[in-house]
Structure 1
Amino acid sequence: MTSATPDPHSESLNERFRAGFRHHAAGVSLVTCATPDGPVGLTASSVASVSAKPPMLSFSVARTSSAGAVLVSSERLAVTILGEDDVLVAAAFAKHGAERFTAEQGWEDGDGGLPVLKTAPVTMWGRPGRVIPAGEAWLVLAEIDRVEFGPACGPLLYHDRAYRSLHEVPVVLDRDAARRRV
């Protein structure tokens, strides 16, 4: 008996794919840039090291994201790796319409207007080198030219629709959504 190859565009496969990745814990970062109207940014759990020579990282962003469109066309961007103490900042950036880039959250103006989160353990600056269309997203290869370290702390992770630290204290954004399974 042969089984048919599943249609890669079927809603069932797409939902199962998303559900499968809920089991994949990932670090949490913010990708930001400066614009004449102020800073723009988004939460990214897709940041990954690509190359050490030259320093390069990747992240993906939905092509429907207005912040994503600004980021991929920016001349400079910052990738801020968040620590466990930055969970409220991560939650604000993940929620549409939430207040962002406030002094209370720990943001300061940096070089070239790029925002700097003084509580973050690592910030990397660079530029989008290549932007590759990939399904509903863009895969961005960013060339890094500066890395700065902040306070030492444990990592902030995203797993099964919740922010977590290595201390296993989940911070759930939407308890009802976290209970639902596909």
Structure 2
Amino acid sequence: MNQHVARTDATVDPTTFRRSMRHVPTPVAIVATTAEGKPVGLTVGSFTSVSLEPALVTFFVDKQSTTWPRMEHSDTFTINILGHDKGERCRSFSGKGVDRFAGVEWTPSDKGDPVLAEASVVFECAKHSTRVLGDHVQVVGEVRKLHVLREELPLVYHGGTFLNLDHLISV
């Protein structure tokens, strides 16, 4: 097996690090809340569980995000997990200067946060904590309600594109 190991005593070059991370598949989700009575949301590619008891989840937001400042003061939010065929919806929540909720069907959670009709799973969360880590903000949420709306393969990002998981084989 041919292995290439990059070693350095200096800081890892961000471009090289990003290129290396393209080899790691990441789950994609849309985080949404309401701010000033309007729905606000963004796409994250860093959603994962933290703890079973209590039920905690986390995601990371780039500190340069222009959407996060409108969301960060909300005490609650939803995390909408998209199905494998919802890449365009994911992209629409990544766009700049557009109404991300235009044409999006959603209903408010008990706290008023958007539950997307296209989501397969929705986590309703209360903000547990936030902290700055490097060039991102880590947000930890305590899951208060969980909705499995449909059984389908999740949207996964890998190598600069969305994976088509239609051909998964169970082992």
Written as runs of structure 1 = structure 2, the 5 A alignment for 1:79-118 is 79-102=79-102, 104-118=103-117
Scaled by the length of structure 1, the TM-score of the pair is 0.81
Deviation for aligned residue 1:110: 3.3
CA offsets 1:37-72 (integer angstroms, 9 cap, x no match): 511111111001000100001111011212223333
Gaps of 5+ in 1: 169-182
Corresponding residue number in structure 2 for 1:174: none
What percent identity do the matched residue pairs reach?
27
Would you say the 8 A contact 2:126–2:142 is kept in 1?
Answer: yes
Would you say the 8 A contact 1:32–1:77 is kept in 2?
Answer: yes
Which structure has more helix as a fraction of its residues? Answer: 1
Deviation for aligned residue 1:33: 0.8
Corresponding residue number in structure 1 for 2:165: 166
For 1:152 and 1:134, locate their aligned partners in 2 and report how far apart those are by CA, in whole Å.
Answer: 34
**DSSP 3-state at the match of 1:123:** strand
Which structure has more strand as a fraction of its residues? Answer: 2
Instruction: Spell out structure 1 runs of 4+ moving beyond 2 A.
Output: 69-73, 104-113
**DSSP 3-state at the match of 1:84:** coil
For 2:160 and 2:71, locate their aligned partners in 1 and report how far apart those are by CA, in whole Å.
Answer: 24
Deviating more after overlay: 92-101 vs 135-144: 92-101
Corresponding residue number in structure 1 for 2:9: 5
CA offsets 1:58-102 (integer angstroms, 9 cap, x no match): 111011212223333211111111112322210101222344223
**DSSP 3-state at the match of 1:85:** coil
- Number of aligned positions between the proteins: 161
Written as runs of structure 1 = structure 2, the 5 A alignment for 1:28-107 is 28-102=28-102, 104-107=103-106
Task: Report the AA paired with residue 153 of structure 1.
Answer: E
Deviation for aligned residue 1:4: 5.8
Would you say the 8 A contact 2:109–2:124 is kept in 1?
Answer: no
Corresponding residue number in structure 2 for 1:154: 153
Corresponding residue number in structure 2 for 1:120: 119
Label 1:4 to 1:110 Cα distance change in 2 as closer, same or farther (>3 A). Answer: closer
Label 1:118 to 1:4 Cα distance change in 2 as closer, same or farther (>3 A). Answer: closer
